Amino acid sequence: MIREGKFGFAEGVSLLLISNLATIYLVEPSVAIELGKNMAWLMALFTMAVMLLQYWIIVSLMKRHQGTTIIEASEQLVGPYLGILCNLLFALYFIIEEAILIRRYGEALLTAALPTTPISVIMVTLTLAAIISCYYGLETIARVSRISITFILGGILILFVAVLNYVDVTNFYPLWSMNPLKIITEGQYKLLILSEGLLAAVIFHSFGNWQNCRSVGLVAISASGIIRTILILLLILGLGVELASEKVLPFFNLSRLVSFGRFFQRAESVFLLTWAMVGFLKLSITLYASTVILARTFRLQDYRPLLWAVSLLCFSVSIIPPDVETIGTLNLNYFTVWGLIPTIVLPFLLLVVSLVRKRERKQEDTSEAGNH
């Protein structure tokens, strides 16, 4: 039996919020602006609504299987063979996410701060940090998240206030400039992926009960959605649509604007710290999820022996793409699209199966009661 420990509301929110915030530090806000132009902020709100719906579906599934996690639930619902296949897909999703994130965070740190450090050194450091965190367990990661979230949110808030000086509200217009249907069909779906729902279903025991799991997720996703919307809004109003769409690290670019008088300038290194915190925690959470899924699927008593093998696999996959452009294309054109299968399609199908089974059981019970 894998002992995961339990944590409270604050730790749970911090964990899921940090996990969901990880992509705002990378290219995603630029991609959103490129797609939605000056209406990208509305796209971010729409994304938040869809993510909440995704989370609701997963929580509804877990509500029906309260004594288990999604791993056991899938086997109960669709049988051992399909269930294992389903769980392997979940694990594969987290392994690929981890691999892509290691490389993307590594490349981002290289571009922004450590240009002469070999990429392998940065990636090994990130992977080792994730292994060590996972070794200490989920409870430790959640508590570290709880401590870090103050600094992370503080950093984001300070940045948002500091760049208000650069806001030009005329960049907001033309209002309602984009056709929402066109945006959705042309690429909005690439930004809809939510791994926190699946993550919550994997660590379901740690939340204590399903009500806690539901409120933690809804608060975390809403908070993250609001932060993402404000960031996109500030990028549009501060840099303009065209300039913001060009950036590789828009959050970092925004932090480079911060300047108060002659003495308080070049403050991006401060924001880089919060960025690194989020990166390290996100990698730890993702590695933990992938390892625990495999351990539970194969009925192992402890997930720790798998850490080295899984992290080596993630590291090996992450080093394959030859350049940043390739990893970006793989992420946006394939991972975010195919990733929708394990994160939303499969949990939704499992929920449907669960509902059908329940109805069948009810009918059987009533017919048996009639016979008696």
Partner 1 sequence: MKDKTKGVKLCVKIVCLLCLISTSVGCLGARETDQLAFVLAIGFDKAENNQQEVTITIANTLAFSSTGGSGGQNAASYETVSVKAPSAWETGNLFNSFNSRELAYMHTKVFVIGEETAKDGIEKYLTAVSRFREARGNSSLYICKGKAKDFLMNNKPVLETSPAKQIELVENTSKIIGYFPVTTVNNFLKGLKDLHSSPVAGLVGIHKTDKDEQVEKLLRETTDPLQEPYYAGAVPRTGGNKAEFIGTAVFKDDKMVGVLSGSETRTMLLLQGKLTSSMYNMTDPKHDNFNIAINLRQARKPEIRIKHEADGLKIEETVFLEGEFVAIESGENYEGIETKRQLEQAFSREVEKQAKELIAKTKEQNYGDIFQYDRYYRKELATWEEWKNLNWKEIYDQTEINIICKTNIRRPGFLRQTLPILRAEEK
Q: Does residue 325 touch partner 1 according to CB under 8 A?
A: no
Angle, helices 9-21 vs 210-239, to 10°: value is: 40
Q: Does residue 313 touch partner 1 according to CB under 8 A?
A: no
Q: Does residue 253 touch partner 1 according to CB under 8 A?
A: yes
Q: Which of 170, 371 has the CB closer to partner 1?
A: 170
- Which residue from 79, 164, 246, 360 is in contact with partner 1, where contact means CB under 8 A? 246
- Which residue from 85, 92, 257, 337 is in contact with partner 1, where contact means CB under 8 A? 257
Minimum distance, C-beta of residue 280 to partner 1, in the bound complex (Å)? 15
- Which residue from 79, 120, 161, 168 is in contact with partner 1, where contact means CB under 8 A? 168
In contact, 251 and 59? CB cutoff 8 Å:
no
Residues 6+ positions from 193 with CB-CB distance below 8 Å: 335, 336, 339, 340, 343
Minimum distance, C-beta of residue 171 to partner 1, in the bound complex (Å)? 7
Subset of residues 98 to 157 that bind partner 1, contact rule: CB under 8 A = 111-112, 114-118, 121
Q: Does residue 180 touch partner 1 according to CB under 8 A?
A: no
Minimum distance, C-beta of residue 327 to partner 1, in the bound complex (Å)? 19
Tokens, residue 42: 């509305």
Helices H, strands E: what count in the chain?
A: 17, 0
Among 257, 276, 281, which residue's Cα sits nearest to residue 268? 257
Among 31, 95, 14, 30, which residue's Cα sits nearest to residue 278? 14
Give the other-Cβ count within 10 Å of 319's Cβ. Answer: 15
- Which residue from 50, 239, 283, 295 is in contact with partner 1, where contact means CB under 8 A? 239
Q: Does residue 171 touch partner 1 according to CB under 8 A?
A: yes
In contact, 90 and 70? CB cutoff 8 Å:
yes
**Residue numbers at the binding site for partner 1 (CB under 8 A):** 37-38, 111-112, 114-118, 121, 168, 170-171, 173-178, 239-243, 246, 253, 256-257, 259, 262, 266
